[in-house]
Amino acid sequence: MASWAALSSSIVEYFQGEDFYRCGYCKNESGSRSNGMWAHTMTVQDYQDLIDRGWRRSGKYVYKPVMNQTCCPQYTIRCRPLQFQPSKSHKKVLKKMLKFLAKGEISRGNCEDEPMEPTMEDAVAGDVALINKLDIQCDLKTLSDDLKESLKSEERKKGKSSKKAESNELIQSQNIEAKLGSGEPSHSLGVLTVPKPGKGADLSKPPCRKAKEIRKERKRLKLMQQNPAGELQGFQSQGEPRSLFPPKARSNQPKSLEDLIFESLPENASHKLEVRVVRSSPPSSQFKATMLESFQVYKRYQMVIHKQPPDKPTVSQFTRFLCSSPLEAENPPNGPDCGYGSFHQQYWLDGKIIAVGVIDILPYCVSSVYLYYDPDYSFLSLGVYSALREIAFTRQLHEKTSQLSYYYMGFYIHSCPKMKYKGHYRPSDLLCPETYVWVPIEQCLPSLENSKYCRFNQDPEAVDEGRSKEPDRLQVFHKKAILPYGVYKKQRRDPSEEASVLQYASLVGQACAERMLLFRS
């Protein structure tokens, strides 16, 4: 048995059974099914492992579709940015942005705008009422005395002030102006710049065979070692990004993703675009200073794009879904300069926010949560543009943190035509819903044409290697103490709890079950 003071872990509250929702994709009134839990706090490693088992968060609510029963199966999809090359349509979007910035040219044609997610309601399977109910039941303010006292003692141990703890609760709309309206403009982190791939990373060719990719990666690393001065130091200011490679290594190569994004603009350019990364949880000073402006963009987006009435997009809803996060901020020396956790990528055009990408930076990936933008700039195809910027951002982070090499785009829903666009960012993989291994999307598509639900792993003998094998080792947080479930159930002697705990263990897997704390009142 361990005391809370011994460690700081993820704390989750699991809801037994399956929830039935109105589907946000096919509009079936009760066809969407998922399992869910409330994450009071969560480490980035635990969330990484959970999304690699098909989970996904919306605010602090973490849910997993019941894949073989839900009306529209939602498959976790990830792109491999190191091998990514923009398609013709992607290049058109990037060139359209450059023309607008350089000359003010506006293209009003088919902008092919593709938001990274549908409406906020759809992102949590279409039932805001349930999430609001969970929010009331599970907010930190209404937790049991045991958990509140333990959380407070942990904060005191870490030396956190009460003001900092309170700053994480930015829900009351009447306090927004007082807290944020008078703040100074946030400090710009500059245009995100990424080293331009050259001879060592030929992104102009189709995805290569594994052996060839390995040879290229070795050569690329060798070039980096020969030119350490070219490595990025955090976020650079606006201008041409420094290259990791000598000029000769980049000759005769088609333009890369970075070339297209960071092409030099004339001195008399019509517009200036900056992308700033601000930590949203716990909220940084830059985030707090710009939150009100960011909310106004979100409100216009919901009203114009998703036809919501003016009183529906509230500060409370915005904060709960797009600002609140269970992820703990972590800044290890071998991690990215900005650290791990939850962030907003703000797109500033001529000094005002026109779009915000909500992202999580995790040990192995950048995970896209949501995008909203000013509808006046729909002609810039900001859904596509932001996805390409996030892929480039992932490649930038990879330069310092080599294991961070994937871009997670949320769920791929083959049965929903509006959501199939995510499969156009190649190469990409889908997660097998039974064995939790990644399978190239090209191998999955034929099966998905025949059936909504598919097991992608072709090995009939393969099983979930991360499944729960020893549920008694699951960690429980009960009455200020942390103890294995095997000990807890002997003390409680309540067989009715066992079904819920075993279901939770099977869904999160053995590793997370042993690390995360399952809160029991």
Domain boundaries, the chain: 11-138+263-465
Residue with tokens 């100074």: 184
Rounded Cα–Cα distance for residues 280 and 298 (Å): 15
- For residue range 351-394, what is the model confidence (pLDDT) as tens digits? 999 999 999 999 999 999 999 999 999 999 999 999 999 999 99
Q: What is the reported pLDDT for 418?
A: 83
Alpha-helical runs (H) found in 335-440: 382-400
- Taking Cα atoms as reference points, which of 336, 298, 289, 337 lies closest to residue 318? 298
Q: What is the reported pLDDT for 64?
A: 96
Rounded Cα–Cα distance for residues 62 and 124 (Å): 9
Counting every residue written for the chain, the total comes to: 521
Tell me the pLDDT band of 459, cut-offs 50, 70 and 90: very high
Residue 252 neighbours by CB distance under 10 Å? 7
Q: What is the reported pLDDT for 25?
A: 86
Q: Which residue has the higher pLDDT, 410 or 141?
A: 410
* 498-515 and 44-51 helices, crossing angle to 10°: 120
- Taking Cα atoms as reference points, which of 166, 22, 97, 138 lies closest to residue 378? 97
Q: Sign of the C-alpha dihedral, residues 193, 194, 198, 203?
A: negative
Decide: residue 268, CB within 10 A, 0-12 exposed, 13-18 middle, 19+ buried: exposed
Residue with tokens 């159930």: 489
The whole-model pTM stands at 0.78
Q: What is the reported pLDDT for 146?
A: 54
What residues does 345 pair with on adjacent strands?
A: 277, 357
Q: What is the reported pLDDT for 120?
A: 42
The pLDDT of residue 484 is above 90:
yes
Q: Sign of the C-alpha dihedral, residues 63, 426, 238, 200?
A: positive
Q: What is the reported pLDDT for 226?
A: 54
- Taking Cα atoms as reference points, which of 97, 86, 87 lies closest to residue 379? 97
Q: Sign of the C-alpha dihedral, residues 47, 397, 199, 87?
A: positive
